Structures are given as structure tokens and as C-alpha cells.
A and B are shown apart, each in its own frame.
Chain A
Amino acid sequence: MHNSWLFIGIFILVAGVFPALPIILFHIFGPKRQTPEKLETYECGMETVGQTWVQFKVQYYIYALIFLVFDVEIIFLYPWAVAFDKLPLLGVAAGVLFIFLLADGLWYAWQKGALEWS
């Protein structure tokens, strides 16, 4: 068990080096003739007006919230699925009820209109 995680750890390091290497090489060998105009924010050639931060839709946040709840719930189901062979009927029913409650939340969000992209 430990060994496979050592492998993953080394993989993380190597996976970082693989894309970093061409970027560093590119940084060293790539042409650099930078002018203030070139380093300006690119917004289709227009001068940037105001700040980058603008009012965003609250819709984005609602989707993120619903996602968070689903994410946490789905995590519980994975050990349940792995242990499926050892579960009594009650255990299976408990898991199905769990999923049903999850579906219930989605249904509420739907009825409330939180899923509409307006």
C-alpha cells in the first residue's frame, strides 16, 4: 500500500517536471522583445476600460453550491458500493434511500427554479 503511494508521489513530481521543462526552455530560448504595449491586457485591441472585476451572475454560485452537496453525498456512496456483496437487504435499502434524498434535493432546486439559466 505504502509503495503504490510512493509511486504516486514520484509521479506527481515527474508530472510537474514534464510540462515545466518545455516552459522553462521556452522562457530561456524564446524571443523576448517586450514593449509596454505588448504587455497590456489583450481585449481585442481596445484599451482596457475599468477593472477586471465585474458583477457576475449568482447562477454560477448556485451551481457550485449544488455541486458541493452532491460531491459530499456521492463520496459516502463509494464505500457502500465497494461493500455491496456483504450488505444485507437493509443496507442496500439504506443506500437507495440515501440516493433518493439526494434526488429530492435536486427536485427542490428544480422546482424552485434554481436550475434555470436566466
Chain B
Amino acid sequence: MTPDQILFIVTALISTLAAVMVVSRRNMVHAALFLVLTLFGVAVAFVLLEAPFLAVVQVLVYIGAIAILMIFAVMLTRNVTDDSGDPFNKNARVGGLAALFVFSLLVVMFGGWSQFTAYPQAGDTSGSIVQLGVALTAADGYVIAFEVASMLLLGALVGAIFVVWPRQNENE
């Protein structure tokens, strides 16, 4: 095994275990902190795949913004220290079986895919960000998607404020 492979297996194991902890912890903040670990593992995987830009974005957006927002939401809306409910309900076994089925389906499907075993070529990726930037705003590239993404985020912002704001006025 190459060092890269060992690193990947360790990272994958840690992220998977952390992901299991996310759904099995009773304490919501602990679950959120394990989620951070999972997301960081994904960032390491991006680095191993020679995609440093995505790795940095993963940390910046998912850990720096989304995970923080989740922890905020958990702390704002519920009493964490008192949160001792069972995270599993009676459908847990059915859910587990469904997950196992989907997982084995994925293994079967990706097992036959030739690209799955190909390792990315180690090389100069410094031009890829420039390519990305050009493609994002090129007329024959993704300029429509680029602007639509902006509109969507604008919509998300307006929607979020619209949903959250009136409630505070009622409280006053």
C-alpha cells in the first residue's frame, strides 16, 4: 500500500465513525461537533484527490458557516443539557436495513465502474482555479448557472429573513 492509500483509509474510517456518532449521540451539540469532524475528513479526502480548492471551500463553507449555524440553531432552539431523548425510534431497524441495501447497491454499481479505481494524476493543478473562474463566467460556460446561483442565494436570504422576522415582532 502506498502512503496515500493508508492516509485515505484512516481518513475514511475516522469520517465514517464520526458520521455514525452524529446520528447516534443523544447530546445534540456533541452530534454537531462530530459532524465537524466528518466534514473535515471530507476536506482531507479532497486534498488527496488533488482538489485543494474544493478542500478549502469545504472547510470554509461547511465547517466555518454551516456547522456553526447548526450549532447556533441547536443552542438557540433547545435546551441541550436536558436533551436526553432516545435518538432511535421503532423504525431504526428498517432504516438500518434500507441503508445496508443502498450501500450494497452502491458497492455493486461502483465495483464495475472503471473510473473508480483510477487514482488522480499527481500534477500541477494551479491552472484549474483559473479554468474554473473562466468557465464560471464564460458565455459558452456556466454564466447562467453562476447568476442563477446568485439569485437562489438572494432568494434564500430573503426567505430566511421573511420566515424569522415576523415571529420576533409577535414576541414583543
Contacts and interface: CB of A to CB of B under 8 A. Distances in A.
B102 interface: no
Interface string B116-146: 0000001111100111111011110001001
A67 B160 CA distance: 12
Contact of A2 (B122, B147, B149): B122
Nearest to A97: B147
B75 interface: yes
A69 B57 contact: no
Interface in A53-89: 53, 56, 58-62, 64-69, 71-73, 75-76, 78-84, 86-88
Contacts, number: 149
Interface of B: 44, 47, 50, 52-53, 57, 60-61, 64-66, 68-69, 72-73, 75-76, 79-82, 122-126, 129-134, 136-139, 143, 146-147, 149-151, 153-154, 156-158, 160-162, 164-165, 167-168
B153 A72 contact: yes
The DSSP consensus for interface residues of chain B is helix
Contacts of A52: 81
Contact of B160 (A1, A65, A90): A65
B156 A79 contact: no
16 contacts: A1-B122, A1-B123, A1-B125, A2-B50, A9-B44, A60-B76, A64-B69, A65-B69, A65-B164, A66-B157, A69-B160, A76-B150, A79-B130, A81-B133, A86-B130, A86-B133
A5 B138 CA distance: 31
A116 to B, nearest CB: 11
B134 A86 contact: yes
Contacts of A95: 137
Contact of A64 (B47, B68, B129): B68
A109 B157 contact: yes
A112 interface: yes
A113 interface: yes
